[in-house]
Structure 1
Amino acid sequence: MASEMTYRRHETQQPEAQSLHRKPIKPIRYMLREQRLIFVLVGIAIATLGFTLFSPSSSSPKPIPYYSDPISGSEMRSSSLAQRKSSIGYITGGIGSVGGKIPLGLKRKGLRVVVTGGAGFVGSHLVDRLIARGDNVIVVDNFFTGSKDNVMHHFGNPNFELIRHDVVEPILLEVDQIYHLACPASPVHYKFNPVKTIKTNVVGTLNMLGLAKRVGARFLLTSTSEVYGDPLQHPQVETYWGNVNPIGVRSCYDEGKRTAETLAMDYHRGANVEVRIARIFNTYGPRMCIDDGRVVSNFVAQALRKEPLTVYGDGKQTRSFQFVSDLVEGLMRLMEGEHVGPFNLGNPGEFTMLELAKVVQETIDPNAKIEFRPNTEDDPHKRKPDITKAKELLGWEPKVALRQGLPLMVKDFRQRVFGDQKQQEKTTTSSSTE
């Protein structure tokens, strides 16, 4: 009896077990059942029709307007179509990219940019332009020749950061572009510690190139016209190798910059680092160091202080002077362009030292006297850039003439010279009354 009940119980549970283990339905049979295939085909047809009607390619063929890069579009005045095409750039959005176009209405993505020597004369003006276009800027400076006063107006800006650091020591940052300006540029400063100067040019450049390699940043080196030394070719083109004294008092700067260019090109060829090289000729403007020994700042400061204008040698040495805004424009175009360089960035307008002294007299004090002194060692006799390459490939040339830019520099110097004197008078008065 028990065995019979067990058998019957097994029979009653068997259909239930079979229902739990049904055979899977094949996909094709599932699609054919209850006309599901028809619904799928209808859905595909509707989706195809929707994409066809609303795709961008079927819209109006009118070209989408683009913003031109503020570096070139706002100040472009070239008349020829070739120059116009070469000078118009498009705002970039990616790391190291320069060809991406951003339509109207879309905000440009700011880049993370480090400027070594960014608290200096040229560096601070470059920082102003980068901040104005919406980039996040990190200034790295050891304040040997730079000053916090030059970048103080950016304090509190979330897009600005200032780091006291010497580029001779490595630094780790995450950036898209590196403008490497760090190095004293005036004879008074770089002769003060020549070993430190050449270490800055060589070791400092090596460190920043290493950073560019690690993070994939584009690297711009500010070299100098001093790489041509006392040139035997006039004017100087980028293919000229120069005439430099390797053991002279200026060689810490001259040869240091030549080695920096070598390092940049070796990193470019050997490690695929995107580099740009600018050879800067004499530059002047607001925020120059007042007593840095350079001829324009010397003449302006001496004229304001009612001192004789000191001309070294016979005064027939020639120089070319560009205003700082023109230089910054050239540096930014070079960084955003596709050409490595080197590029001469300078004003081909040539002045003798006596002619410059007379322009300063006309601007500040017609009664200022001129005093001649013995010439300094290794002082170049002629210096004039050939900027044909920059015109053709960058669409760049200087716009500000000496007689236009000099009054702007004089205004800045006058505020600082007489402001410092007033501050000294107040300090002397307060100390004498105590």
Structure 2
Amino acid sequence: MTSELIHRSQTTQIQEPIVDSPRHFKFLGKGRYPIGYMFRERIPFILIGIAIVTLFFSTFPQSSRSHVSVWDSVVQPESDLLTRRVLYEEGSGSGSSIGYGRTLANVDGKVPLGLERKSLRVLVTGGAGFVGSHLVDRLIGRGDSVIVVDNLFTGRKENVVHHFGNPRFELIRHDVVEPILLEVDQIYHLACPASPVHYKFNPVKTIKTNVVGTLNMLGLAKRVGARFLLTSTSEVYGDPLQHPQVETYWGNVNPIGVRSCYDEGKRTAETLTMDYHRGLGIEVRIARIFNTYGPRMCIDDGRVVSNFVAQALRKEPLTVYGDGKQTRSFQYVSDLVEGLMRLMEGDHVGPFNLGNPGEFTMLELAQVVQETIDPNAKIEFRPNTEDDPHKRKPDISKAKELLSWEPTVSLRKGLPLMVSDFKNRIFGDQRDGDRSILTKA
């Protein structure tokens, strides 16, 4: 066997490939590929490829998106179309467009409501509450993805349940006093109990929400580069010595009163917001909200409109505190939401008064409720509460000029919509309770 192996190894010859055509040049060693063949066989294909690509891009140029209207891609409520078109036309000539988050903005920072943009990721703290849930409806309706953060102290899942199952909606049960990490483009910070009954229930918790909660949300805005909107309140003016109240008025607030956890908490939140803006360059907006009413208000929250409506529906006396001559202004919730969105998308920091300058005394409001619900409803007078403001009326000249905003829904038009919601909830809850009793029996 050994000799046979040696014999075979000696007789084996290594055969080089026979080069009988240009295809065999790839087997040759380095430097043996004919240059003439390469230019003759390969260069024409390369030139043809370049010509094809050039012809394609010259025939189908990339279209600019900076002048495409949102009306072609996002379904908007018909009531908003005219307003948004006007805003777009007025702002379209103010400069070239640059990126802001996931949207398009002018060089001055403004994002016109009608300008084409990709959907945003928007965080709404307190988004399961009265105002927050209506804001969520509008944001979802225009095509944004919305994350609601709410501890459900005054918010209700029922306010946003119609968005469950929507891939662009997310509800997180979380207290803003604790930090949270999210990736968002805009932050609407509404989290805080807003009625005396609720914020007086735990005043320390209320001021922590205003201070620590605002710090956490501003910190989040700083980390992710989000634009931040603080919903402050007309309560920062306290019991005002100036009437009507303008944004430059510093207020008349009792710093140690029973309402100061809310009043001074919001004033501190405004301070923090402006310090983050001036010191760290965070894009911020501040809205000072005046009395607002509408569907989804808490029924027994101590605010005058909800009190009167619930009492009239239950055939109870309407409770008027003091002599009933103190005044308030009442705006419908849809007007407020429009103002908040214009403020967020605009290029002005604020603060801005957002309220209805129509002024009503408490007795006049009680009469409107009587006319709407029950002409026979009785009025009952009680002692006034501590630090209750005597007059409250916003000057909205700044919002008119810079945001092109003013309320459009009158009290007599908006109140019946709220009454219908309260009627369904009050008597619906009672019927549910009666059925549960009968079932147990």
- Give yes or no for the alignment of 1:67 onto 2:70: yes
Do 1:319 and 1:353's aligned partners in 2 also have CA atoms closer than 8 Å?
A: yes
- AA matched with 1:99: A
> Residue 160 of structure 1 corresponds to which residue in structure 2?
169
- AA matched with 2:415: L
> Residue 229 of structure 2 corresponds to which residue in structure 1?
220
Report the CA distance shift for 1:56/1:258 in structure 2 as closer, same or farther (over 3 A): same
Q: Pairwise mapping of residues 28-47 of structure 1 onto structure 2 (< 5 A)?
A: none
Report the CA distance shift for 1:40/1:420 in structure 2 as closer, same or farther (over 3 A): closer
Q: Pairwise mapping of residues 211-360 of structure 1 onto structure 2 (< 5 A)?
A: 211-360=220-369
For 2:76 and 2:348, how far apart are their aligned partners in 1? Answer: 16
- Give yes or no for the alignment of 1:375 onto 2:381: no
Unaligned runs of 5+ in 1: 1-18
What fraction of aligned residue pairs are identical, expressed as a percent?
76
Report the CA distance shift for 1:285/1:22 in structure 2 as closer, same or farther (over 3 A): closer
- AA matched with 1:372: F
SS in 2 for 1:391: helix
Counterpart among 96, 99, 112 of residue 105 in structure 2: 99
Write out per-residue CA displacement over residues 147-182 of structure 1, whole angstroms, 9 at most, x where no aligned residue. Answer: 111111111111111111110011111111111100
Do 2:102 and 2:120's aligned partners in 1 also have CA atoms closer than 8 Å?
A: no
Report the CA distance shift for 1:232/1:77 in structure 2 as closer, same or farther (over 3 A): farther
Do 1:117 and 1:182's aligned partners in 2 also have CA atoms closer than 8 Å?
A: yes
> Residue 434 of structure 2 corresponds to which residue in structure 1?
425
SS in 2 for 1:140: strand
- Give yes or no for the alignment of 1:399 onto 2:408: yes
- Following TM superposition, by how much is the alpha carbon of 1:118 offset from its aligned partner in structure 2, in angstroms? 0.7
Do 2:289 and 2:353's aligned partners in 1 also have CA atoms closer than 8 Å?
A: yes
Write out per-residue CA displacement over residues 64-96 of structure 1, whole angstroms, 9 at most, x where no aligned residue. Answer: 652369789843667xx8997269999997516
Report the CA distance shift for 1:180/1:309 in structure 2 as closer, same or farther (over 3 A): same
Write out per-residue CA displacement over residues 5-60 of structure 1, whole angstroms, 9 at most, x where no aligned residue. Answer: xxxxxxxxxxxxxx9897999xxx99xx99x9999999999998987787679x9x
For 1:321 and 1:107, how far apart are their aligned partners in 2? Answer: 34
Do 1:86 and 1:392's aligned partners in 2 also have CA atoms closer than 8 Å?
A: no
Write out per-residue CA displacement over residues 346-373 of structure 1, whole angstroms, 9 at most, x where no aligned residue. Answer: 1111111111000000000000011111
- Give yes or no for the alignment of 1:384 onto 2:387: no
Report the CA distance shift for 1:46/1:187 in structure 2 as closer, same or farther (over 3 A): closer
Report the CA distance shift for 1:49/1:218 in structure 2 as closer, same or farther (over 3 A): same
SS in 1 for 2:250: coil
SS in 2 for 1:319: strand
Unaligned runs of 5+ in 2: 1-27
For 1:312 and 1:76, how far apart are their aligned partners in 2? Answer: 42
- Following TM superposition, by how much is the alpha carbon of 1:429 offset from its aligned partner in structure 2, in angstroms? 2.9
Do 2:102 and 2:117's aligned partners in 1 also have CA atoms closer than 8 Å?
A: no
> Residue 109 of structure 1 corresponds to which residue in structure 2?
118
- AA matched with 2:105: G
- Following TM superposition, by how much is the alpha carbon of 1:428 offset from its aligned partner in structure 2, in angstroms? 2.9
TM-score by length of 2: 0.81
- AA matched with 1:67: V
Do 2:233 and 2:287's aligned partners in 1 also have CA atoms closer than 8 Å?
A: yes
Do 1:71 and 1:333's aligned partners in 2 also have CA atoms closer than 8 Å?
A: no
Runs of 4+ in 1 over 4 A off after TM superposition: 19-25, 36-57, 68-74, 81-84, 86-94
- Following TM superposition, by how much is the alpha carbon of 1:424 offset from its aligned partner in structure 2, in angstroms? 2.1
> Residue 5 of structure 1 corresponds to which residue in structure 2?
none
- Give yes or no for the alignment of 1:366 onto 2:375: yes
Q: Which shows bigger deviation, 163-172 or 291-300?
A: 163-172
For 1:126 and 1:66, how far apart are their aligned partners in 2? Answer: 23
For 2:87 and 2:136, how far apart are their aligned partners in 1? Answer: 30
For 2:255 and 2:93, how far apart are their aligned partners in 1? Answer: 41
Do 1:87 and 1:396's aligned partners in 2 also have CA atoms closer than 8 Å?
A: no
Report the CA distance shift for 1:93/1:139 in structure 2 as closer, same or farther (over 3 A): farther
Counterpart among 138, 152, 157 of residue 147 in structure 2: 138
Over aligned residue pairs, what C-alpha RMSD do you find?
Answer: 3.7
Counterpart among 67, 90, 93 of residue 85 in structure 1: 90
Do 2:102 and 2:118's aligned partners in 1 also have CA atoms closer than 8 Å?
A: no
For 1:84 and 1:47, how far apart are their aligned partners in 2? Answer: 38
TM-score by length of 1: 0.82
Report the CA distance shift for 1:83/1:47 in structure 2 as closer, same or farther (over 3 A): closer
Counterpart among 398, 415, 422 of residue 413 in structure 1: 422
Aligned residues: 404
SS in 1 for 2:70: coil
For 1:71 and 1:187, how far apart are their aligned partners in 2? Answer: 36
SS in 2 for 1:196: helix
Do 2:359 and 2:393's aligned partners in 1 also have CA atoms closer than 8 Å?
A: yes
- AA matched with 2:101: I
